[in-house]
Chains A and B, each alone.
Chain A
Amino acid sequence: MLAWRQVRYENRLFWRTPMAAFFTLFFPLMFLLLFNLLFAGDPMEIAGRGSFTVTQFFAPSLAAFAAASATYTNIGIGTAISRDQGILKRFRGTPLPPWLYMFGRVASGIWIAAIAVLIMITIGVVFYDLHVYPSKLPAVILAFMVGTGSFAALGLALAALAPTGNSAPAVANATILPIAFISDVFIPISNPPEWLVTVGNIFPLKHFVRPLQDGFSPFVTSTTPEWDHIAVMAIWGVAGVLAALRFFVWEPRTSGRMSRRRRPA
């Protein structure tokens, strides 16, 4: 089946590109380790609920960040570079329907995001006493699916809008890293200025971090999905799809051949 083949193909490429695998899977884990060293202290006792370490708050936020990297950053950079290398053009000349190529990229990104999240949670449980609340997991999984789907769409939009494959990593990092800082991924800012909170609320990452954090928070007992956060992510996802549909090209943008041909002979 072609769809399955495309997903397998993208996965294979991911695992054979050690840099991408490193940044997606191990970078967020390094933060987890770092925060545990920085904020090490006695576990917090909460009456009737057990004792908790900072991991209870950081593991979910870093998992959201890792999932966003696996989709937005990886899909955006990978697709833009494939375009500039002429790989997309080769696919375009085959009977493979264009949407199936996109599907392969997106599904593989979500699959890798799931692996990144599972690694994060497993390490949290095994080494840092992370508590998991099974009754809240369905809401967490729903938020994960909508979140990764939206960030994957935004990754395709990034690929469509990045001027060249070389500039895609810069564009990806210049967007996701500042937003991560105002989305409570790394350090919850204690008394942020009002406008910074507003800016954080506009972008989708905070709305990805929240449902995951709440899913692991000992203070939140509700098991219903947080529809407001999910709606914001979905709106960004639709915007990403529209931008990708409007601006996506299959031809290399920076090919020397193109510019040569455009110059009068």
Chain B
Amino acid sequence: MPAIEIRGLTKTYGDVEAVRGVDLVIETGEVFALLGPNGAGKTTIVEILEGHRRRTSGEVSVLGYDPAHAMRDFRERIGIVLQSSGINLELTVRENLELFGAMYPKRRNVDEVIQIVGLEEKADARIKTLSGGQVRRIDLALGIVGDPELIFLDEPTTGFDPSARRRSWTLIDNLRSLGKTILLTTHYMDEAQNLADRVAVIAGGLIVAEGTPDTLGGRDGGGVVVAFRVPPGTAGLPDPFASHLDESGGVSVEIEDPTRALHALTTWALSAGVTLDGLTVTRPSLEDVYLQLTGEHDSG
């Protein structure tokens, strides 16, 4: 049974359609990233799956439960890290974890959780003395203290510095290796690229692309960009490079069949004794694909 199954999900607020018919299947043990700009509907979808919001229509199954009606047994098996949620500032890190951990039948050891999120030095400090990034880590800690099978992470690293983000990635990777299913939302491409087994790009309340980070939006298809420099005015370049030579000697061409074109190019360069300065062959980045996909739906 898939961990999450969504069919025809919609959600409207007044006359605003936040989610406009989403289908999605997330398998058990998968790390799935919902990628999309602010206001795309990511949080709405995740909060419907968590049971925080009611859907307008569609079918939703999370661990076999309908989250709109599921209660205690469902919540014992999920962990939620909301995009923003309150925490009692007057309690210490440890007190918070003990309070919330006690609610779960399969709770993890509190010290172990503190260690996992790297808050050992702050274990007995009140939350109000913690930095924003540290508070986010206790959010994460509270999300996993009940040893859930399915973890929702709504923009878990927004506002983190690069090293804190790396640490969180390591943590999420560890959760993956324990067989947990993770649904995370993010607007960081590198995060999706590094963590997710599969990615769905959402824009204007619709899924506009879905796949592995490597194949998303046809990234694994032919198109690559070949770029290099030759002395200005160099003649005799093979096609299609010749027609893209600019005045300063730069060339940048998008090519469908790079194997053949590169062979022609390097053969020519060797025989003509021309150096191809700064030769690069790049695939469009996930970010390029994302910007292209979400740009098309900007009106949503």
Contacts and interface: CB of A to CB of B under 8 A. Distances in A.
Contacts, number: 82
Contacts of B50: 93
Contacts of B87: 87, 90
A261 B18 CA distance: 8
Nearest to A6: B99
Contacts of B204: 265
A97 B72 contact: yes
A133 interface: no
Contacts of A5: 99, 102
B90 A89 contact: no
Interface string B135-176: 000000010001000000000000000000000000000000
- Counting contact residues on chain B (CB < 8 A from A), the size range is 35 or more
A164 to B, nearest CB: 14
A89 B80 CA distance: 11
B85 A94 contact: no
B90 A96 contact: no
Interface in B99-135: 99-100, 102-104
A95 B16 contact: no
A95 B76 contact: yes
Given A2-B102, A12-B95, A261-B44, A86 B82 contact: yes
Given A94-B146, A251-B52, A89 B82 contact: yes
Interface of A: 2, 5, 9, 12-13, 16-17, 82, 85-90, 92-97, 251-252, 255, 257, 260-265
Given A9-B91, A261-B39, 10 more contacts: A2-B102, A87-B85, A88-B86, A90-B82, A90-B85, A90-B86, A257-B83, A260-B39, A261-B18, A262-B16
B98 to A, nearest CB: 8
Q: Which of B18, B76, B95, B99 has the most CB of A within 10 A?
A: B99
A198 B85 CA distance: 45
Contacts of B83: 257
A87 B39 contact: no
B16 A264 contact: yes
